[in-house]
Structures are given as structure tokens and as C-alpha cells.
Amino acid sequence: MERFLKAFKDRDGRYKYFDRINNMMALNAQSLVVDYIDFDSFNPDLAKHLTNRPDEMLEAFNEAALAILREIHPDYEQEIHGRIKVRIGNYTVQKGLREINAELIDRLVSVSGMVVRSSEVKPLAKKVSYRCANCNVVSESEMKGLVLKKPTKCSACGEKDLEMDPEHSIFIDFQMVRLQELPEDLPAGQLPHYVEVTVMGDLVDQCRPGDRIMLTGVIRIEQEQVSPQIRTSLFRLRMEGNNIEYLGGRAGSKDTRTVERIAISTEDEKQIRTIASKPDAYEKLIASLAPHVYGHEVIKEAILLLIVGSVTKKLQDGSNRRGDINVLLVGDPGTAKSEMLKFAAKIAPRGLYTSGRGSTAAGLTAAVIRDKSGIMMLEAGAVVLGDQGLVCIDEFDKIKPEDRSALHEVMEQQTCSVAKGGIVATLNARTSILAAANPMYGKYDPYKNITENVNLPVPLLTRFDLIFIVRDMPEKEKDSLIASHILEIHRDTDHAAKPAIDIDLFSKYLTFAKRGEPVLTPGAINIIRDYYMNMRKAESESMITVTPRQLEGLVRLATARARLLLKDKVEEEDANRAIYLVDQMLKTAGVDVNTGKMDVGVLYGKPQSEVSRQKLFMEVFNGLSGTDNSEVEEKNLISELVKTGRFTEEEARNQINKFSREGRVYERRPGFWAKA
């Protein structure tokens, strides 16, 4: 072992491990990662032993590392003597979580999975010293597995009164992690398997819930306990973590393994910059998003901007300005909404897909659960797992109203608060939300405003930067193109719908673009300001109500576009494009069906036309009833309303019935109305 650590040279002729051990003191490191492939090429026989007798081999590795360290930095060796760990990286014996069984007990294996839960960090005793109260002799007990045997009496004088002596004991950090099978490895019709993993030392807090990792470790067993007295002959498997590597690449293919979450090499960076420097870069990027879905360019563009996002700004007073963009797609069935959501979740650096039916508030945000040991644990839900990534929620309108209200805080404040069972916590949920909803009546009714079409509360609608209506309209040319596109995919799966940019590179491009922090130029600021002031014009009859939220939305969209093209300044063309996207949204979703004019009030409750008609109705009613609130005859009321020119007879009757339903007016006697 010592020979390997001292003598192994890499391709460039450097002493790879000797250098690493030499740098341990400078980095204050307690562990050394040994590449299994290097070890296998150096001594194949010993490498075989590593799989079958990992405890002996790892212990020998630790001793060898300590011996070398003793020669170079003896004082640092003393300091970390009991805590040094050699970790095995790039281990080739890979098993699926389903293949972990009784044959593998006490063997070293490597499994890939997703972290779904992690406990708090606690100290674990490796060696505990007990001091005799009578003669002060110290006796020690070592840990075997997870069990400590306390000596019953003092070795010197036989006294039974022993006290623990923390000063001479050795404790290390300890954490329990639950690893679950990756969704793509799941066989049809099966529930995902999971395994409990114990991690110690500097591996603690290395992986957060939601991370996809490759875990190398030793399989252990522990006995099941029915009660403190009764132990059954059943055991359960547990893994003792030795090393954690992240699954790099999109969806973590088994070949691309790395310690980074998504690694971008210098070669990748060159390609990324080449793509961005071309004049048709923007069109190319949009065409690479869900190439199997025909058309919908504006929506694809919005999804791209949402994945890249804008810069989250921290202000001096400690508050944040949200940088994530939220988009809602409302549309007829069969317009490929779910396809775009699934693709976005797959390609985003951290993407999750969930469907509304069967998602609860706890599953979306966070839940407090009681562990079998009685500890209260916080279990992260979808938006917490997707922190600094993207969460796609399909069937958004099918979530129960009380569960949906949990998203209000997530979408604007970007946190998720839990107060339950003695745990009061505010978790980060800095996610972009891409939601898709179906209209209430199956198909979108163009003669009703969006709030009447979608079963979603107004406060939630205002939190979306962009709302798109996807309508299924028969058009001869477009239908023929869609048909040939779909049939071509079925005919030739290899070449049809080939993206302009390779999907792995595309994912890396988006990860790389997220690092940029472009700043607004005065030109872009002026364009956005003029547009906002134009929208706020209150003089016109059909007043448009735009809130400062829309202004921030415009800034976010413009910044995201600059980020996507790897620019360091937000220029005028970016601002114009952001305005174009908002205009596209207003053309479909923001038109008041009564007047045919654009009115953002439609998205946020009542359009101006309806508000002004209700106001007019009450004015006429109050004029007829006078100050003493006397009853008003229906005939007179209707004729007065018709005289204003804003109502027909039928509309006047409908308005009376509507107010009667809302409880503003009531029928005192047949044909006579009074104010409630």
C-alpha cells in the first residue's frame, strides 16, 4: 500500500498520491481519494481483495497514508491520527439498488441513486474512555458496527462505578442518508427501492436531498428489534458510505462520472462560446428545445429564458429581488404542453417534474415526519429539492385549493416556511415554476376572460411573469405541417426531430449561461420605462392596470435573454424582445372579451369594462332609490340603464340577476328591488 501511494505516477510523470498527502495539511483535509483504476493497474491482485475484504484493505490504506504523513508532517499526523480516511473513487463494481442482497454483506460496492432524505448531524463515538471513580484508571471501549459495549467493571480495582471521560474519547460526525433508485432505472410497475446509508467524518453534509450521487460503500447488516428485550432473527441491510461522487451530465448517465454536479470542461466551454458567437444562436437554441414538438416558438423561447433565469439581486437592507421567472401554459388538450414540460425538466441543470393530481402541500413544499428513532425530521418536497433549478407542475388546476396556496410564498418570496412539531424552519426554494393547466370546460372558451376559463385564484395568476394560451385552431397549412412532422418522427426515429445542438451540450450550455451576471444599459432601461408608462396610462376609458410586478417581470426577461446569449450587458434588443413576449401574452390572454381591447385587468380579476359597467349600474340604482334608500321598480331601472347606451335590455336584466346573486340588491316584493 505504502509503495503504491509513494510510487504511483500519473501520465504526466507526477507522484499523484504522494503530492496529495503532502498537501493534506495545507488543505486541512482528513481524507484522501484513491482512484480504483490507478490501483488496479498498479496491483490487480490487491485490487480484487479490496472488493471482498474491504475492511482489512481500507484499514491498511489508512495506516499507509498515516505512515507517509508521519514522515512529512508528524505534528499533523498526530492531530488527525484517529480520523484519517482513504476513500475509493471511480470504483468499477457497480450494482443497482435492487441487486443489493445477502451475498454482498461486508463487500465494497458502488450504487447510484438520488438522495431523498438526510438526517441531522450527530456525534458518533469511535472510542469511549471510562474513568473509574475509585482509582482513576481509564478503560476504553471501541465501537463495533454501531454498537458500543460499556465495560462492566474497572480493570484495576473491580469497581463498578465508571464515568465517561469525553476528553479522552474520540467522536466523529455522523449522518443518516436515504438513497433511492433513480427514476430512469426503475423497471415498469415497480416501486423504487431505497437503502439507508450512514456517512461519517467529512462526508457529512456532502449531499443534499435532490442530488444524484454515486455512492461507494460497504454493505453492513443490523438486527431488527421488535422491542428492547426481543430481537428477531431478521436483519436489515445498511450501507456505510466510503465516498460520494456526483452523477454529472444530463440525467446522469453511468459513464460520465464526476465530483462536480455538472462539470464543464474547457473543451465544452470552447464549443459553448462558438455557439453563442454565431448570428443565428438565438434561433438555434429555441429550435433545440423539444424539437419533437412542432411550432410554439414563443412558448419555447419563454421556457428557455425561464431555465436560464435572471440574476437574483441582494439589496443592502438584506432583502432579495427575485430572479426566477414563472410561466403558466393554459390550453386545449393535445397541444403538447406536457411534452414541453417534461423536456424542460430533463434538460434543466436541476429539473423536477410533478403532476397536480396527487400532489399535496407537504409533497410540494416540505413535510415534518417522525423518524423510527423518534427524532422529528424535515423531509424536502419538490420545490425545495429543485432549489436553484426548475420545477414543472403539470395539471396545475387539479391541485386542491388548500394545497395550492402553499405555492404563493414559494413563487414570490422564494422561501418555504414550516412550523410543525417543534420545528420552525424557513427553507430556500429559489425555483422557477413552469406550470400547465387545462381550461375548466375542456376547451378554452374565447368568449370568456382567462379568469373565468381557468380554475385558479387571481393572487396566484399575478405571480406568473408570462401566461400563454395554447389554442387548438384548425388551419390547413399548419395542420398539414404538424401531421408530416409527427408522421416523420414515427417513420424515422433516428433522424427526425434532431436538435440543432446536441442535447448534452445544450444542457451544459444552459448551466454555463446561468453563471453570467449581465447589467442593464441605459438604453434598455429607457425602453422598459417607456413601455411601462405607456401601459399605465389611466386617462383612457378602458384603463389598463399594470402593477410594478410586470415591470420587474420585464427586467427579468430582458436579463435572461442577455444571459442566454452569454452577454455581460442587457442591451436594447433584449428589452425589445422581453416586451415582444409580454405583448404576445397580452394579445391572447390579456384581451377583454367585452370590448376587444387589451386590458391586463383581465388577468387580475375584473377587466376595466366590467368594473365601469358595475359602477354605472350602482350610480343609476342609487339615483332612482334616492337618499332614503326606497325600492326601485324593475321597469324604470331597466329603461334608465338602456338610456345610458352601455346596456341592452337583456344585459340590464343579467346585471340585476348577477347583483342579486352577489347579495348587493334584493327583491323586496315582485318587480321591486332595494339595496341590500
Domain ranges in the chain are 2-89, 94-258, 266-589, 608-675
Domain made up of 2-89: CATH architecture: 2-Layer Sandwich (3.30)
Mean pLDDT along residues 447-475: 81
Residue 106 in contact with residue 55, Cβ under 8 Å?
A: yes
Cα angle 275, 278, 281; round to 5: 65
Chain position carrying cell 450550455 = 509
Which residue in 237, 210, 209 sits closest to 223, CA to CA? 237
Distant-in-sequence, close-in-space partners of 391: CB < 8 Å, separation ≥ 6: 351, 352, 354, 382, 383, 431, 432, 433, 434
Mean pLDDT along residues 78-99: 83
Which residue in 562, 553, 545 sits closest to 528, CA to CA? 553
Topology given in CATH for the domain delimited by 608-675 = Arc Repressor Mutant, subunit A (1.10.10)
| pLDDT > 80? residue 149 | no
Per 3-state DSSP, what percentage of the chain is helix, strand, and coil (rounded to 5)?
40, 25, 35
| pLDDT > 60? residue 255 | no
Distant-in-sequence, close-in-space partners of 164: CB < 8 Å, separation ≥ 6: 128, 129, 130, 131
Q: Where are the alpha helices (DSSP H) in 165-296?
A: 266-277, 281-288
Q: Which three cell numbers stand for residue 185?
A: 432505472
CATH class of 266-589: alpha beta
Give residue 259's pLDDT: 39
The span from the CA of 376 to the CA of 421, in Å, is 7
Strand ranges, E, within 326-475: 327-331, 351-355, 366-370, 376-380, 390-394, 415-420, 423-428, 432-437, 466-470
Give residue 254's pLDDT: 39
Mean pLDDT along residues 277-284: 83
* Angle of the 297-308 helix axis to the 572-589 helix axis, nearest 10: 120
Mean pLDDT along residues 651-655: 75
pLDDT in tens, 569-623: 888 888 888 888 888 877 776 666 666 666 666 666 565 566 666 677 777 777 7
* Angle of the 503-513 helix axis to the 281-288 helix axis, nearest 10: 120
Question: Is the model more confident about 668 or about 271?
Answer: 271
DSSP sequence for 22-59: HHHHHHT--EEEEEHHHHHHH-HHHHHHHHH-HHHHHH
Count CB atoms within 10 A of the CB of residue 322. Answer: 22
CATH class of 94-258: mainly beta
Count CB atoms within 10 A of the CB of residue 614. Answer: 16
Residue 532 in contact with residue 543, Cβ under 8 Å?
A: no
Mean pLDDT along residues 364-377: 73
Q: Which three cell numbers stand for residue 610?
A: 366590467
Q: Distance from CA of residue 26 to its chain's centroid? A: 36
The span from the CA of 539 to the CA of 544, in Å, is 10
The helix or strand, by DSSP H or E, that contains position 19, with its residue range, turns out to be: helix 16-27
| pLDDT > 80? residue 233 | yes
pLDDT band at 251 (very low <50, low <70, confident <90, very high): very low
Whole-prediction pTM: 0.70
Chain position carrying cell 416556511 = 417
- Exposure string for 218-239, b = 16+ CB within 10 A, e = fewer: bbbeeeeeeeeeeeeeeeeebb
Mean pLDDT along residues 626-632: 71
Strand ranges, E, within 182-256: 194-200, 212-225, 231-247
Q: Which three cell numbers stand for residue 353?
A: 417534474
Residue 466 in contact with residue 579, Cβ under 8 Å?
A: no
pLDDT band at 260 (very low <50, low <70, confident <90, very high): very low
- Exposure string for 422-435, b = 16+ CB within 10 A, e = fewer: eeeeebebbbbbbb
The span from the CA of 105 to the CA of 237, in Å, is 8
Please give the single-letter amino acid code of residue 657.
Answer: N
Beta strand 231-247 with 212-225: parallel, antiparallel or unpaired?
antiparallel
pLDDT band at 414 (very low <50, low <70, confident <90, very high): confident
Mean pLDDT along residues 182-187: 77
For 113, 212, 217, 389, 391, the CA distances from 209, given in Å and listed in that order, are 11, 9, 19, 13, 15
Which residue in 310, 302, 295, 288 sits closest to 584, CA to CA? 302
- Exposure string for 305-319, b = 16+ CB within 10 A, e = fewer: bbbbbbbeeeeeeee
CA dihedral (157, 158, 161, 162) positive or negative? positive
